[in-house]
Amino acid sequence: MNASSPPTAPADRGTSTVTQNARPGEGVRVALFATCVNDAMYPQTPQAVVTLLERLGCTVEFPVTQTCCGQMFTNTGYYEEAMPALHRYLETFEPYDYIVAPSGSCVGSVRDQHPILARYESGSADSAFVERVDALAARTLDLPEFLVDVLGVTDVGAYFPHRVTYHPTCHSLRITKVGDRPYQLLKAVRGITLVELPAREECCGFGGTFSMKNAATSTAMVSDKARHIEDTGAEYVVAGDNSCLMNIGGMLSRQRSGVATIHLAEILAHTEPARDAAEQGAS
Amino acid sequence: MTATTSTTSTTARTRRTPEPATTFLGMPPFPTAARAALDNTVQRKNLRHATHTIRDKRAQVVAEVPEWEQLRVAGAAIKDRTLRHLDTYLVQLEESLTRAGAHVHWASNAEEANRIIIDLVRAAQPDVADPDVVKVKSMATQEIEMNEALEHAGIAAWETDLAELIVQLGHDLPSHILVPAIHRNRSEIREIFLDEMGLYGEPAPYDLTDEPVQLAAAARKHLRTKFLNASVAISGANFAVADSGTLVVVESEGNGRMCLTLPQTLISVVGIEKIVPTFADLEVMMRLLPRSSTGERMNPYTSMWTGPSEGDGPQNVHVVLLDNGRTDILGDEVSRETLRCIRCSACLNICPVYERVGGHAYGSPYPGPIGAILTPQLRGLEDKADQALPFASSLCGACFEVCPVRIDIPRLLVHMRHKVVLKKKEQHRLPTMEAATMKAASWVMGDHRRLGAALKASSSSGSVLRGPLGRTTIGPMPWPASSWTTTRDLPAPPQQSFRDWWAHEHEQRPAQAQATGSDHAPGRTEEEQR
């Protein structure tokens, strides 16, 4: 499979990748769940998902009735307040086979917490509502899962000539269990220098409202994370979740550390400008 | 004021054991206590070193067991089955214990338990005005604050576990379930021994160094007289086997074995969730516990006793079965799995919050992730300190991964948070600011048009926050944003939300979605590199 082929000279590999493997998403319709944090604060991330998935041949739709997974409410203990978001999610995404979000945490919330909330609201484990919620939860995927498991692609034709370290976010690690899929994807990016992050599996200290309610402890955690990131000498720290990156980036920025945060989708969407031009000329 | 002073001086005169400088009760809520703990640099270093050492050892020895996951599942299943039929097993345990010659006492709360224990100690030595008892390390007796209850009754309870001794002599409180003096380092321990040992018995040698061997030797010598003088020992139990009436104590130093064999009277305080039905069930637990707790393949000292043995060891064997809130936990179908806990401490050692703040900030002998769910269930949610505990976690999930009996701690933290929210709604006639904010946000998230309008407002405010120079980050801001921005920058809201971009984009290129280049992808990062 092309995805696991060893790196070769960019010029040779570029075309062969594109012709054999570039559009594994042809005929696949995807509903993009942008997530409220990205919608409001990091539009470039869902934009990158659109770029990436369309480049791979998918038909990307953004159902405009979507809002939020409700995690902020659930994790703070406000179950009742999470319900409108859950119902909105169900009504918006039920018609789709694949719902893809660039966030391990929001996907984790849909998969892990929506079933709990549905049972809480309906008071039983076998209502039709619960079944619908469970079924939709199972079709909701984090971006790396969709790319690797559904499209079967690890080399997405990206180019990113920078020194990068990857922080596996807690919920992608322990709830959605994306495992080494992000690594597989990053390793296939041309020009990238991937450096290992020390103590990478340790939480950055975000934790949603935890970062406000226990700001001091959260800060102690993220300052250690920032130190580990700086130790790698990377220009970018990449992760699959902008909430964690907002915390990590907030500390790195305050320290004027010279390390930027970037979402995985943005690296994967990034291609070599010259090659793009050549491809468009050829097609 | 005068009254307080005189009470204190009376207590000081009559006290026989070191007085703890503080008590868990009345401590400030977690965020405040944690803030103070974070500034204790020596403790930070001690905790970082100790938690990482145990954490790594655990990971190593767990990786050696290919069937670890099956063991976890079995451990959880055994505990669940026992809890489901706890009424039956408790009666069976009482019958087995009685048949074996032990005396069983039932205590529904801390006060009852302490009264029973005091009466038993007094009855064991009717002629002694100020009896001494030696203690095996026990969480149940910490939970009921037995040492202080005994002290007030004129009975001196001496801790014999090395770490508990350090805590007791240091006028301190335990900060970890397994290694209660985890927040102390060797030089601190040396100073405590030099300053305090002589006041309560055999003094430490004047030339004591901070070498572990020397510290242990000083403790051994100090404790020897305690072991030899006490005719009553008090223990907890790690497990109680229902069908045989066997109690099990798992320890590492041999001090437990001394307590369990030398004195004539043995009183064991056992939480009612400690039951395992049979020895076959115990086997699973004995494989799970040492690797999870101390990171050892096998436990150094495992003592088991089934009532008294004639002419050998304690002749009066008492068991106090303690509820103290446990049946309330059992009544909650979601959170009852908390009672599976075998007090191994793996969740403390892996927890990034515990590692930084230590145990005292949790205001309970049960700190860390398990404490954050167990304490507010045992004590109830009336108090602010107990309400704050389920929020003392970033929900990273590391605790669940290492729990040997698969307690889904992150999920239970969220469950407890929900109970806190309900409790607060009950306590406050007007909604709290948080509740009002959540209600408003919930209304916004209930409809995409409302969210869209909110995002438009955010983008406009963004243009103000970004200023004429186009800043991408926001520095310090006033409360409530200050809880974030005091230590971290905040990104400025973008000029356009994603949904506005999408709407704009799809007006321009209707239906025909075509692959584009990278021009709009990593824009932010280039700006941030400035």
Write out pLDDT tens, residues B500-517: 999 999 876 655 444 443
| Residue A12 near residue A40, CB atoms below 8 Å | no
d(CA B169, CA B192): 7
Tens digit of each residue's pLDDT (9 = 90 or more) over B315-330 = 999 999 999 999 999 9
**pLDDT the model gives residue A6:** 39
pLDDT single digits (tens) A10-61? 344 333 344 445 699 999 999 999 999 999 999 999 999 999 999 999 999 9
Q: What is the mean pLDDT of chain B?
A: 92
What percentage of chain B has pLDDT greater than the value 90? 87
Residue B17 has pLDDT above 70, yes or no: yes
Measured distance CA(B77)–CA(B90) in Å, rounded? 18
Minimal Cβ distance to A75: which of B395, B451, B520: B395
| pTM (predicted TM-score) | 0.92
Best residue of A28, A35, A38, A47 to probe chain B, by most B CBs closer than 10 Å: A47
What is the model's pLDDT at position B507? 76
Burial B210-228 (b: 16+ CB within 10 A, else e): eeeebbeebbeebbeebbe
pLDDT for position B402: 98
CB contacts of A50 in chain B (<8 Å) are 513
Three-state secondary structure call for residue A176? coil
pLDDT confidence bin for B467, thresholds 50/70/90: confident
Chains A, B: CB pairs < 8 Å: 253
Side-chain half-sphere of B22: how many Cα atoms within 13 Å? 15
End-to-end CA distance of chain A: 24
Mean pLDDT, chain A, rounded, equals 91
Render B474-517 in DSSP notation, one character per residue. E----TTTHHHHTTS-EEPPPSS-HHHHHHHHHHHS-S------
Subunit contact A218:B31, Cβ cutoff 8 A: no
Strands (E), B185-291: 232-235, 239-241, 246-251, 265-271, 275-276
Tell me whether residues A174 and B394 touch, CB distance under 8 A: no
Instruction: Determine the Cα–Cα distance for residues B388 and A1; give it in Å rounded to an integer.
Output: 52
Q: Report whether pLDDT(B245) > 60.
A: yes
Q: Write the ipTM.
A: 0.91
Within B318-432, where are the H helices?
326-330, 346-350, 352-357, 368-379, 384-388, 398-402, 409-427
Query: Which candidate, A112, A93, A52, A97, places its Cα nearest to that of A264?
Result: A52
Q: Identify the closest residue of chain B to A215 by CA–CA distance.
A: B483
What would the pLDDT profile of B145-198 be if each residue is shown by its tens digit? 999 999 999 999 999 999 999 999 999 999 999 999 999 999 999 999 999 999
- Residue A229 in this model has a pLDDT that exceeds 50: yes
Chain A: nearest CA to B88, how far in angstroms? Answer: 28
Dist. CA B427–CA B306, nearest whole Å: 48
CB burial string A154-192: b at 16+ within 10 A, e below: bbbbbbbebebbbbbbbbbbbbbebeebbebbbebbbeb
Q: Is the dihedral of CA B81, B83, B85, B88 positive or negative?
A: positive
Pairing status of strand B473-474 against strand B316-322: unpaired
pLDDT at B458: 87
Q: Which of A34, A267, A270 sits opposite B498 (nearest CB)?
A: A34
pLDDT in tens, A85-135: 999 999 999 999 999 999 999 999 999 999 999 999 988 878 999 999 999
Q: Does position B114 have pLDDT exceeding 90, yes or no?
A: yes
Contacts of A34 (CB under 8 A, 6+ apart): A46, A49, A62, A66, A101, A102, B498, B499
If you ran DSSP here, which 8-state letter would residue A159 be given?
A: B
Angstrom distance (rounded) from CA B62 to CA B350? 14
The torsion region of residue A277 among left (phi > 0), alpha (psi -120 to 50) and beta comes to: alpha
pLDDT above 80 for A174: yes
Please give the pLDDT value at position A280.
Answer: 63
